[in-house]
Chain A
Amino acid sequence: MPELSRDEVRHLADLARIDLSDAELDHLAPQLNVILESVASIQGVAGDDVVPTSHPIPMTNVFREDVVVPGLTPAEALAAAPEQEDDKFSVPRILGDEQ
């Protein structure tokens, strides 16, 4: 298994939208490699003939009646919003400086 470099850990954290500090990278990167090394043992254990399982109890086409039921009021839905405006969630700008 390829060892994860510090830059790769930073890249993965970026993908996961976590702003790791340098100190955190120093702390976490070696631990991540220990974990990856231990799970790498499963590579090649199961051949092409084994079907993957995503759910322990397979179910297909789970339907229910499409009935209108009361939902949350706007006030309830927005009660925990960090910021709100005009019955809507208010978010920071979504475009970068260059866009």
Chain B
Amino acid sequence: MSEQTVSWIHKTAAEQAAALAAGEVTSVELVQAHLDQIAATDQGENGINAFLHVDAEGALAQAKASDERRAAGGSLHELDGVPIAIKDVLTTKGLPTTAGSKMLEGWIPPYDGTVTTKIRAAGLPILGKTNMDEFAMGSSTENSAYGPTRNPWSLDRIPGGSGGGSAAAVGAFQAPLAIGSDTGGSIRQPGAMTGTVGVKPTYGSVSRYGVIALANSLDQLGPVTRTVLDSALLQELIGGHDPHDSTSVPQPVTGLVEAARDGAKGGLAGLKVGVVKELQGDAWSPAVVERFDESVEVLKKLGAEVVEVSLPSFVHAMAAYYLILPAECSSNLAKFDAMRYGLRVTPEASPSAEDVMKASRDAGFGDEVKRRIIIGTYALSSGYYDAYYGQAQKIRTLIIEDFKKAFEQVDVLVSPTAPTTAFPLGEKVDDPLSMYLQDLATIPANLAGVPGISIPSGVSSEDGLPTGIQFLAPVLEDARLYRVGAALEAALTEAWGGPIAPAAYKEKN
């Protein structure tokens, strides 16, 4: 290998885009480099298993088309030709979409979700579909029916979930960009576990059309990347009003790329940051808190004013979430009835449609999906509705009010993203409650619809695994996250002498 050889996979999406624009590389070369990395690192006993489906042929054809567009001149989207991976929860016409479930094994959707349409229209070659907890239920990607994804930092650890595939793919340089979905932290928590950046945009600001719904009032698609700027570029691409989604907000969320570029220049003078009182304490591992406190000191040095704020209803957020989510998912997943698409298991003798439904749903759903459907069915049953689902919806109101009051005092809120670093595979598989605690800090944003970002805060002094810091902003104020996120990222990266990356996959000098 000559010294001039550039390792394109180790460049950020923005750098890859700039190199394409400057004619230093072609999209075909970029796609091939990422396909090579996937081939070298994803399969086999020690493979990461980030991808459920790789579309090498399609991605190369899209790359070739991008190169031809560029050669023909004219205006291109900034990310035209930069490859991307898509979480298997979003429909892609002609590409398998399973949501990590046996229920949808082999299903080829007949239509593109809106975000897929936007990605195709902008010319980003789609490398493939990424692994996830079944129907996005989980915090470790171990609930995938197709085997867990491994953490690139340590192959015996979980990558977080439910979007462990997207986070691991980006963390292991298999893709510069990925789409995730965040219902209670499924973009942000895997970001923290894998040392990557993940953003849950304001609810309704990115279309949910074509997303296999987990909980309609909580689900949100968002970017998974290695830098704050790359997330800003991707969120601006996928965001915007969509008449196909009746919960889509009419106001565009803009100025994200500008905010990220401004933020990276430094100064946070005038910014008020609130440390959430309720997201501290014994549940938080000392190693995570150590990196968090360090980041807060950096924010102060950058000129931010840091105060502690209390959002008292947060203590009930988890309980409310684990009633609202199962209630919505038990209703959503009723559509998997073995009649029109998906798995059909036919019991012996002369079964009725109901017998077929019951056998198919027993065979097609994994344990966590069954647990949540049953809890949801219970919470919605008459006699319990007011005590559980009704109460949970009221808690949701209290949490929204807490956010409103907090944002009267500060511009953004901050907390660690997850209570621990990545835990060993298998550790919490049969301990649902302990798994649920992973999302302690991320759930309130989904209940209130506010945007959140997780960026790396360093590596733990205990186990050498990455830790994450989360910022939250008011509804539609996503730009604030990019400004503060980019400022902190720039300061930390400088202090570390470069971005953190897993030793086995980072660029060799």
Binding site for B on A (CB under 8 A): 4, 9, 12-21, 24, 27-28, 31-32, 34-36, 38-46, 50-57, 59, 62, 64, 72, 76-77, 79-83, 89, 91-96
Q: Is B367 an interface residue (CB 8 A)?
A: yes
Q: Which residue of A lies closest to B389 (CB)?
A: A52
**Other CB < 8 Å A-B pairs besides A50-B394, A94-B354, 6 of them?**
A18-B365, A32-B371, A36-B378, A62-B247, A72-B110, A91-B353
- The residues of A that contact B448 with a CB separation of less than 8 Å are 56
Q: Is B493 an interface residue (CB 8 A)?
A: no
Shortest beta-carbon distance, A54 to chain B, in Å?
6
Q: Which residue of B lies closest to A64 (CB)?
A: B243
Partner of B374 from A27, A32, A80 at Cβ < 8 Å = A32
- Asked if A35 and B397 make an inter-chain contact with CB atoms under 8 angstroms apart, the answer reads no
- Asked if B217 and A55 make an inter-chain contact with CB atoms under 8 angstroms apart, the answer reads yes
- Asked if B249 and A57 make an inter-chain contact with CB atoms under 8 angstroms apart, the answer reads yes
- The residues of B that contact A4 with a CB separation of less than 8 Å are 378
**22 examples of A-B residue contacts, CB within 8 angstroms:** A14-B358, A15-B377, A16-B374, A18-B358, A19-B355, A19-B358, A41-B316, A42-B319, A51-B394, A53-B397, A56-B217, A57-B202, A57-B449, A57-B475, A59-B246, A62-B246, A79-B108, A80-B110, A82-B339, A93-B353, A94-B353, A96-B352
Q: Mark B373-389, 1 if CB is under 8 A from A, else 0.
A: 11101100100000110
- Asked if B400 and A56 make an inter-chain contact with CB atoms under 8 angstroms apart, the answer reads yes
Q: Is B137 an interface residue (CB 8 A)?
A: no
Binding site for A on B (CB under 8 A): 107-108, 110-111, 202-204, 217-218, 243, 246-247, 249, 316, 318-320, 322-323, 330, 334, 337-344, 346, 350-359, 361-362, 365, 367, 370-371, 373-375, 377-378, 381, 387-388, 390-398, 400, 430, 432-433, 436, 446-450, 475
- Asked if B204 and A39 make an inter-chain contact with CB atoms under 8 angstroms apart, the answer reads no
Shortest beta-carbon distance, A85 to chain B, in Å?
13
- Asked if A13 and B217 make an inter-chain contact with CB atoms under 8 angstroms apart, the answer reads no
Shortest beta-carbon distance, B104 to chain A, in Å?
9
Q: Which residue of B lies closest to A79 (CB)?
A: B110
Shortest beta-carbon distance, B53 to chain A, in Å?
16
Partner of B370 from A13, A34, A92, A96 at Cβ < 8 Å = A13
- The residues of B that contact A21 with a CB separation of less than 8 Å are 362
Interchain CA distance A32-B430 in the complex, whole Å: 11
- A-B CB proximity, top 6 nearest: A56-B449, A52-B393, A46-B394, A82-B344, A80-B341, A19-B358
Q: Which residue of A lies closest to B403 (CB)?
A: A56
Interchain CA distance A46-B365 in the complex, whole Å: 34
Interchain CA distance A36-B338 in the complex, whole Å: 29
Shortest beta-carbon distance, B29 to chain A, in Å?
35
- The residues of B that contact A76 with a CB separation of less than 8 Å are 110
Shortest beta-carbon distance, A39 to chain B, in Å?
4
- Asked if B400 and A16 make an inter-chain contact with CB atoms under 8 angstroms apart, the answer reads no
Interchain CA distance A48-B474 in the complex, whole Å: 27
Would A80 and B108 be within 8 Å (CB), given that A21-B362, A45-B316 are in contact?
Answer: yes
- The residues of A that contact B330 with a CB separation of less than 8 Å are 16
Would A35 and B357 be within 8 Å (CB), given that A13-B370, A80-B108 are in contact?
Answer: no
Interchain CA distance A50-B400 in the complex, whole Å: 12
Q: Which residue of B lies closest to A29 (CB)?
A: B374
- The residues of A that contact B342 with a CB separation of less than 8 Å are 80, 82
Q: Kindly name the residue among A4, A24, A57, A59 whose own CB sees the greatest number of chain B CB atoms within 10 A.
A: A57
Would A50 and B353 be within 8 Å (CB), given that A32-B375, A35-B371 are in contact?
Answer: no
Interchain CA distance A12-B378 in the complex, whole Å: 7
Shortest beta-carbon distance, B34 to chain A, in Å?
30
Shortest beta-carbon distance, A80 to chain B, in Å?
4
- Asked if B359 and A19 make an inter-chain contact with CB atoms under 8 angstroms apart, the answer reads yes
Q: Which residue of A lies closest to B217 (CB)?
A: A55
- Asked if A54 and B217 make an inter-chain contact with CB atoms under 8 angstroms apart, the answer reads yes
- Asked if A34 and B433 make an inter-chain contact with CB atoms under 8 angstroms apart, the answer reads yes
- Asked if A54 and B393 make an inter-chain contact with CB atoms under 8 angstroms apart, the answer reads yes
- The residues of A that contact B340 with a CB separation of less than 8 Å are 80-81, 89
- Asked if A42 and B371 make an inter-chain contact with CB atoms under 8 angstroms apart, the answer reads no
- Asked if B358 and A35 make an inter-chain contact with CB atoms under 8 angstroms apart, the answer reads no
- Asked if B107 and A80 make an inter-chain contact with CB atoms under 8 angstroms apart, the answer reads yes
Interchain CA distance A28-B378 in the complex, whole Å: 14
Shortest beta-carbon distance, A35 to chain B, in Å?
6
- Asked if B247 and A55 make an inter-chain contact with CB atoms under 8 angstroms apart, the answer reads yes
Q: Which residue of A lies closest to B202 (CB)?
A: A57
Q: Which residue of A lies closest to B340 (CB)?
A: A89
Shortest beta-carbon distance, A49 to chain B, in Å?
9
- The residues of A that contact B374 with a CB separation of less than 8 Å are 9, 12-13, 16, 18, 28, 32
Q: Which residue of A lies closest to B400 (CB)?
A: A53
Q: Which residue of A lies closest to B397 (CB)?
A: A53
Partner of B338 from A9, A41, A54, A82 at Cβ < 8 Å = A82
